[in-house]
Amino acid sequence: MARIVGSVATSHTPIIGKTIAKKRENDPELGLKPFFDAFPRVREWVAEVDPDVVVLVYNDHGVNFSLENRPAFAIGTAPTFTNADEGNGAPPPRTFQSDPHLAWHIAQSLIEDEFDIATCQEMAFDHGGTTALDLLWPDHKVIPLIPVEINAVQPPLPTPRRIFKLGQALGKAIGSYPKDLKVMFLATGGLSHTIGIGGYINEEFDAYCMETLANNPIEIARFTSDDIVANGGEQGLEFLTWVVARGALPDKVDVVTSVYHKPISHTGGGMMVMEAAER
């Protein structure tokens, strides 16, 4: 049977990807060293758990989805995906491999679990997808990945409670897949920020979100999406990708490693690795 080895959640602010591409992680001018310094431990953990497949939980940035069709939840079910021009020039083309058998199993299981998720036979990742991958695999290692996208663009948005339950349903879906596969969740986004505007970093709220997500995630469900915006800015909603990745894990988790660093451009930057607690 397939099993979940754990969840990695991280910010995906564009400057992170650009810094990796230019190999400027230690550049004091950028001030991002404390964030990047946390990642060798993450990569070590990833090597230990050795995932066969990654479920990549992210929010599209008005690239793959326009407002012409805006599902609440979507899953990529194609054998391959590409990266995307986000409006500021086409990046060097990349192709990402998937595992369509597992993806369609997940889609089927979610629908049976009353999550009517949209299936995508084509999906182009923006930095929301690629940044986290590059933090974990700077060498662009090929690892099959299944994208799960949640709407953080335009209300009405799925509630935090619903999003936590989506994570639980994803966990159930993977647990019922007959093939022996080690599956890792990778959630990307957050933490507090509003695009292009300084002053929305809320360190206290970010700390609360990280701590509560690990230890008492159901408490996050008492928020509305607007509560999260009121505290963490409009794009603070991206934290909900973390909630999905947490929902897929058991009630008790251990935090393997984490970091909080601000500012990463105009965002509160965070990373957290969680795995099922030793019983």
Partner 1 sequence: MGIKFVGTKPLDVDLIVEGYALNKMGHSLIREENRQEFQADEDAYMAKFGLSEKAVAAVKSRDRDEMMAVGLNMYFYGKIRFVTGGGGPASA
CA distances from 267 to 37, 148, 194 (A): 18, 23, 8
Q: Fill in the DSSP letter of residue 278.
A: P
CA distances from 32 to 17, 29, 251, 273 (A): 12, 8, 33, 19
When the beta carbons of 171 and 269 are compared against partner 1, the nearer one is 269
Asked whether position 48 contacts partner 1 by CB under 8 A, the answer is: no
Stretch that binds partner 1, among 21-29, 32-40, 228-236, 270-278 (CB under 8 A): 228-236
Asked whether position 221 contacts partner 1 by CB under 8 A, the answer is: no
Point out the catalytic residue in the list 127, 140, 261, 266: 127
Asked whether position 155 contacts partner 1 by CB under 8 A, the answer is: yes
Asked whether position 47 contacts partner 1 by CB under 8 A, the answer is: no
CA distances from 157 to 34, 102, 124, 187, 231 (A): 33, 27, 21, 18, 16
Give the total of residues touching partner 1 (CB under 8 A). 40
Chain Cα centroid distance, residue 143: 16
State in angstroms the smallest separation of the CB of 269 from partner 1: 12
How far is residue 209's CA from residue 191's CA, in Å, rounded to a whole number?
9
Cβ neighbors of 33 (< 8 A, separation 6 or more) are: 25, 26, 27
Choose which of 127, 165, 246, 262 interacts with partner 1 (CB under 8 A): 127
When the beta carbons of 68 and 180 are compared against partner 1, the nearer one is 68
How far is residue 40's CA from residue 30's CA, in Å, rounded to a whole number?
19
Asked whether position 21 contacts partner 1 by CB under 8 A, the answer is: no
193 is known as an active-site residue = yes
By CB under 8 A, name the binding residues for partner 1: 13-14, 61-63, 66-68, 84-90, 126-127, 153-156, 193-196, 204-205, 208, 223-227, 230-231, 234-235, 265-267
